[in-house]
Structure 1
Amino acid sequence: MNSPASMPGALDGLRVLDATQMLAGPLAATRLGDLGADVIKLESPAGGEFNRTHGFDDVRFGGEMTTFLAVNRNKRSLAIDLKNPESGAVIDALVATSDVFIQNFRHGTAERLGVGYDRLHAINPQLVYCSISGYGPHGPYRDRPGQDLIVQGYSGSMFSVGSEGDDPEPGALWAADVMTGYHAAIGILAALRARDVIGIGQHVEIDMFSVVLDAQLQELVTFLNARRQPVRTAEPGAHASIPAPYGVYRTSDSWLTLAMSPLSVLGEVLDDNWLRSLTHYNDGHVHRDQVYAHIRNKFVTKTTAEWLELCDRHKVWAGPVYDYADIEADPHVLATQMLVEQPGSNGTSVRTLRPPIALSETPASIRLGAPALGADSAEILAELGYTDEVLDRLLQSGAVEIHRPHLS
């Protein structure tokens, strides 16, 4: 049987130019690479992409920031200075042979660098061009930087978590960045499908603010039509818009999460007659504070595993609270092979997560690890037909850089 890495991906034959940095843009391009696209990462010869030097928690592995390794697999690196006039012809040649261009520059920067939508569309009308920004190209916020925490603050979501009286709290996940990256990939795929019908590419515009608001459709539709704001409770881990028993509870050895479950069934788990009497669907809303006060300390009498066994038996939605070491040892994670290896530099191997998309005929795969800066410059330029003489001129001008590995 062929391994997924040896089989053609769903996007095999498509070329993507990735001129992004940080998280949302690189993640979108990585997902396209996972699905088989040839992704060329365009990065400055002077240090490369932001995450090469400003990684998560400032941790390196094999000489590279772990953040860069995480969201730049399945890419080739072309070290090219977009500000150098000599680079323009190279970019134009790449655009003419590519299907997708992704950028997340500040508003107006792409145009100043000569890689704005109108210019690239004129070079290749079939190009799908994706712009990722904090707030979109219009409105008074268009020039503001888009960053996950700041966008979460704008979104209203910080008042949906935490306890009554607490300061506003952001979510622990980089939700704005990650969801924006996924929406960008969805928009690009839709535009590629549309190209098959209408014959030309188009401009896909994704902004973090719109994405995070869209992720709150339930809450915002409720507010916009019924004028109901989320109301926090005194219960840690509860959600402002979801009825009891939703929350996090301390057990004798760790913690337990409970989702939306009938209180009468939870009464069976806890052997509690008052909870058994709460049989109406909305009792978790009507008696919310009373329920939380009643059950807050009930779970400290058993371990998390013991409570999970009882909850599973009665079909109550529950789970443990893991740290990363727990995830690494989890039997479901191991059985479904969620943790895999990707190639690293200098013969190393980087542990990572497999692509979360499963396709039966054209599986996603990890074919390449995150590239060293400029590791593929010579190969990419050769594919464009550049001679050694022209390549030498580009190198001397500083427009491009070729990675030369350190000799041991």
Structure 2
Amino acid sequence: MLETNSGALDGIRVLDATQMLAGPLAATRLGDLGADVIKIEPPKDGEFNRTHGFGDVRHAGEMTTFLAVNRNKRSFAVDLKSDEGRDAVRRLAATSDVFIQNFRHGTAERLGIGYDDLAPLNPGIIYCSISGFGRVGPYRSRPGQDLILQGYSGSMFSVGAEGDAPAPGALWAADVMTGYQAAIGILAALHERERSGRGQHIEVDMFSVVLDSQLQELVTYLNTGEAPTRTASPAAHASIPGPYGVYRTADGWLTLAMSPLVSLGHMLDSDWLRSLTNYNDGMVRRDEIYAHIKDAFLGRTTAEWVELADLHGVWAGPVHDYVSLAADPHLAATGAFVQQPQGGVPTTTLRPPLHLSRTPATIRRGAPGLGEHSAEILTSIGYSAEQVAGLVDSGVIRASVAQEVSS
């Protein structure tokens, strides 16, 4: 039988002073791995995603965008503009392992909760700053939003045909990849602290992360001057040989990846494709290939083409919308969709993407209500019931009625 415990990061306390996506996702991943994550947010409305989501789409009383990336956290709703609020956070940081923030450049320092403010109180603290462009350079004060970073990165011109407008990706790739890089840095620093006993300051900026995701393209260009070049026909990536792209079928769409043209020729019974035996044929003859096959899939359904592709060793797959994605048998077989606790309201989410054999990632609690845990958090670091009540009355913190009574 496999040994299990509360999680690989059981006993690690994380202070999450972030909002929107990149920072909250990094903290959620640490929470999934067992860390006690305390979300620090303004007492009036909470963090940005509590009030700004996809329109006004809510579930269990919260914006779905907030629910998605704030599970496994406790909420500490505190006014960081007040002396009492900052003192409480500093006191909490003195007993914590990790502090994550994505304030605008200079804000944490003005509030007195920058790394240089907290490190003297806790030399072992791992402090992670997430930003759009870093703390140096002419762009350091600019907002870091996913679409803006995609534009800065050069990646939009890697998709589409000559003359097309730049094509942004639908995934929040800059945010999500930044969240993962932040989590990697924090885990590395926690490991190093086991040897040195010392914390450190980690800085992750979205611009660097999006550039890093284009290592192959940029190393090619910077060393040879060869940049991705769009062709006359649409392509899923300007650097990849044809037939890399999306093609219409009888009932939907089919993706074709980097498959040998000979194999595709067998699948489509095309002597011309079978004659293209040189790998570079896919690059220099992309327009011809597209013209040859663009209507070749209209006679069968997507499912039929995927079955034939598997038979002939062609890399292919369907283009799901969310309706068909939710019904995909692979996701059902792998248990991709799970329930998270959310105040008694059934709430479906995605299971953590990590699999650890002895210390599995878990979903122990749903996204917290605003200030749901303020009282218990302050009590845990020595505040009396009277002090907590006074902070609630003065508006420095927000706490639920149940916690105020029980404190």
**TM bracket (short chain):** over 0.9
Q: Aligned equivalents of 2:117 and 2:160: distance in 1?
A: 48
Aligned to 1:110: 108
Q: 2:84 aligns with which of 81, 86, 109?
A: 86
1:194 to 192, 195, 201: 192
The CA deviation at 1:232 is 1.4
Aligned-partner residue type, residue 389 of structure 1: E
- State the shift of 1:3 in Å: 12
Q: Distance in 2 between matches of 1:403 and 1:56?
A: 26
In structure 2, the partner of 1:60 is 58
| Range moving further from structure 2, 390-399 or 78-87 | 390-399
Q: CA deviation at 1:2?
A: 9.6
SS state of the match for residue 205, structure 1?
strand
For structure 2, the residue ranges without an aligned partner over 5 or more in a row are 403-407
Q: Confirm or deny: 8 A CA contact 2:49 2:65 kept in the other structure.
A: yes
- AA aligned to 2:226 is R
Distance 1:134 1:391, change over 3 A: same
Q: Which amino acid aligns with 2:121?
A: I
**Are the counterparts in 1 of residues 27 and 37 from structure 2 also a CA contact under 8 Å?**
yes
Give 1:349's match in structure 2, choosing from 346, 350, 355.
346
Contact 2:189 2:200 in 1 (8 A): yes
2:335 alignment partner in structure 1:
337
Which amino acid is the alignment partner of residue 165 of structure 1? G
Note if contact 2:236-2:246 (Cα within 8 Å) is conserved in structure 1.
Answer: yes
> How many residues get paired?
403
Stretch deviating more after TM superposition (123-132 or 390-399): 390-399
Partner Cα separation in structure 1 for residue 222 and residue 153 of structure 2: 14
Identity %: 69
**Alpha-carbon distance in structure 2 between the residues aligned to 1:3 and 1:338:** 23
Partner residue of 2:238 out of 232, 237, 240: 240
Q: Alpha-carbon deviations, 1:52-109, whole Å to 9, x = none?
A: 0001232111210000000000000011111111112211221111000000000000
Structure-to-structure mapping, 1:101-140, within 5 angstroms: 101-140=99-138
Rounded to whole Å, the distance in 2 between the matches of 1:397 and 1:168 is 51
2:43 is the counterpart of 1:45: yes
Per-residue CA distance 1:216-255 (angstroms, 9 max, x = gap)? 0011111111111211123335311100010000011111
Give the Cα–Cα distance (whole angstroms) in 2 for the partners of residues 169 and 309 of structure 1: 30
- Give secondary structure in 1 for the equivalent of 2:119: helix
Q: In 2, distance between residues paired with 1:301 and 1:92?
A: 66
**Distance apart, 1:404 and its partner CA:** 2.9
> Aligned to 2:367, what secondary structure does the other structure show?
coil
Distance 2:102 2:342 in 1: 26
CA contact (8 A) 1:77 1:373 kept: yes
In the aligned structure 2, how far is the partner of 1:351 from the partner of 1:291?
43
Q: Which of 396, 399, 402 lines up with 2:399 in the alignment?
A: 402
Q: Which of 10, 20, 23 is the matching residue for 2:21?
A: 23
* Aligned with 1:290 (options 264, 269, 288): 288
Q: Residues 180-234 of structure 1: CA distance to partner in whole angstroms, max 9, x if unpaired?
A: 0010000100111111112200000000000000000011111111111211123
Cα gap change, 1:352/1:185 in structure 2, threshold over 3 Å: closer, same or farther?
same
Gaps of 5+ in 1: none
TM-score with structure 1 setting the length: 0.96
Residue 77 (str. 1) matches residue 66 (str. 2): no
Matched letter for residue 400 of structure 2: H
Alignment of 1:194-343 (within 5 A): 194-343=192-341
- Amino acid aligned to 2:41: E
Q: Deviations over 1:301-325 (max 9, x none)?
A: 1111111111101111000000111
Q: For 1:129, what is the secondary structure of its paired residue?
A: strand
| RMSD after superposition | 1.5
- Residue 185 of structure 2 aligns to a residue whose secondary structure is helix
Contact 1:235 1:247 in 2 (8 A): no
In 2, Cα distance between equivalents of 1:225 and 1:120: 43
Give 1:305's aligned amino acid: A
Q: CA deviation at 1:297?
A: 1.1
Q: Any conservation in 2 of the 1:86–1:397 contact (CA below 8 Å)?
A: no
Cα distance between partner residues in 1 of 2:353 and 2:399: 33
1:119 CA displacement: 0.8
Distance 2:157 2:130 in 1: 26
Q: CA offset at residue 362 of structure 1?
A: 0.1
CA distance in 2, matches of 1:3, 1:56: 41
Q: Which amino acid aligns with 2:363?
A: I
2:405: which partner in 1?
none
One-letter code aligned to 1:271: D
Answer with 232-241 or 199-208: which moved more.
232-241
- Measured after TM superposition, the shift of residue 41 of structure 1 is 0.2
Q: Which residue of 1 aligns with 2:385?
A: 388
C-alpha contact (below 8 Å) 1:84/1:398 kept by paired residues: no
Q: Deviations over 1:267-311 (max 9, x none)?
A: 000000011011112211122211111111111111111111111
Question: In the alignment, is the contact (CA less than 8 A) between 1:127 and 1:200 conserved in 2?
Answer: yes
Q: Does the 8 A contact of 1:235 with 1:292 survive in 2?
A: yes
CA contact (8 A) 2:3 2:358 kept: no
Q: Following TM superposition, by how much is the alpha carbon of 1:129 offset from its aligned partner in structure 2, in angstroms?
A: 0.1
C-alpha distance in structure 2 between counterparts of 1:255 and 1:341, whole Å: 31
CA distance in 1, matches of 2:150, 2:110: 29
Counterpart pick for 1:370 among 352, 367, 380: 367
